[in-house]
Amino acid sequence: MDKRDLSAIFRERLKLLLTRSDLNQSAFASAVGIDRSALSQLMSGASTRLPRAETLLNIAAEFKVSLDWLLGLSQDEGVTGEIRESLEIEEAPDGFDRTLLAKWFAEAAGTKIRYVPAGIPDLLRTRALVDYEANITNRSRLAQASETQYRIEYNRRPETDMEVCMPRHTLEIFARGLGVWDRFPEADRKQQLAHMATLLDDLYPTFRLFLYDGRMRYSIPLTIFGPYRAAIYVGDMYVVLNATQPVQALTQHFDNLIRAADVNPHEAAAFARNLAGMSFPSGSA
């Protein structure tokens, strides 16, 4: 990690500890064995200098946090908590509320969620599409419906901030009834697109959909839960990245997708509504 990034993360976490402590700067500085001017310098951002090892140890001990957390090398604050692997495999069983995915959404409330879906975004699907996709994927209808409802409710919370980025061509292929949707009736496809447009209007701006040219950019399906973790979807399981650097790298990847978008959130509902108004018999090219 770049020294400037390390210093910035340390500064943010030092400020967080100061806020939590309910101490003034003089008392906080005294508690960790430095004077107030030294504390002010550490918090000012004027330098990338980190404190001495002794001071870092004093801060960690006084406020019962780990050195790794203090320096941005871990998202786990506690010194005695369970050590989390930097990479984990999490299966995706039936019953969305029983998976860690639901827990991660809850933990990331108040931070930005970044999401690249594998197909039509879960929370934008109609029940007809949920049933159709359950048939072809052998996933439980109840599990998929539960996930859709959870995500809608999550995105109605005032603290939600979610960005979704996907290829524009996914919606165009869906509208034409191609690929995995070749047996999904045209009337249901139109209803799905109209439903999507309505929800995009309803949930904006807490939920923002960006569409990019899939011929120019590519992304695997993934969800980034604020600064905490990223989950890469690989069918019936997730590859979960917990370390700071890979989460930051995937965040940069996602932001590059957004920069390449040619349909922006304020245009996405109209784009879906326009597709819903076109006639594409099943299997049309």
Domains parsed from the chain with CATH numbers = 3-70 (1.10.260.40), 87-276 (3.30.870.10)
What DSSP character marks residue 32?
Answer: T
Band (pLDDT 50/70/90 cuts) for residue 81 is very low
The mean pLDDT value for 165-173 works out to 97
Strand 112-116 and strand 207-212: pairing? Answer: unpaired
Selected residue with higher pLDDT from 226 and 2 = 226
The answer, as to whether pTM is greater than 0.85, is: no
Asked whether residue 135 carries a pLDDT value surpassing 70, the answer given is yes
* For the chain, percent of residues with pLDDT exceeding 70: 86
Asked whether residue 217 carries a pLDDT value surpassing 50, the answer given is yes
**Helix, strand, coil in percent for the chain, rounding step 5:** 50, 15, 35
Strand 207-212 and strand 161-167: pairing? Answer: parallel
Selected residue with higher pLDDT from 210 and 60 = 210
Selected residue with higher pLDDT from 95 and 69 = 69
The mean pLDDT value for 47-55 works out to 79
The tally of CA atoms less than 13 A away on the side-chain side of residue 68 is 15
Selected residue with higher pLDDT from 44 and 221 = 221
Asked whether residue 170 carries a pLDDT value surpassing 70, the answer given is yes
| Tokens, residue 226 | 């604020």
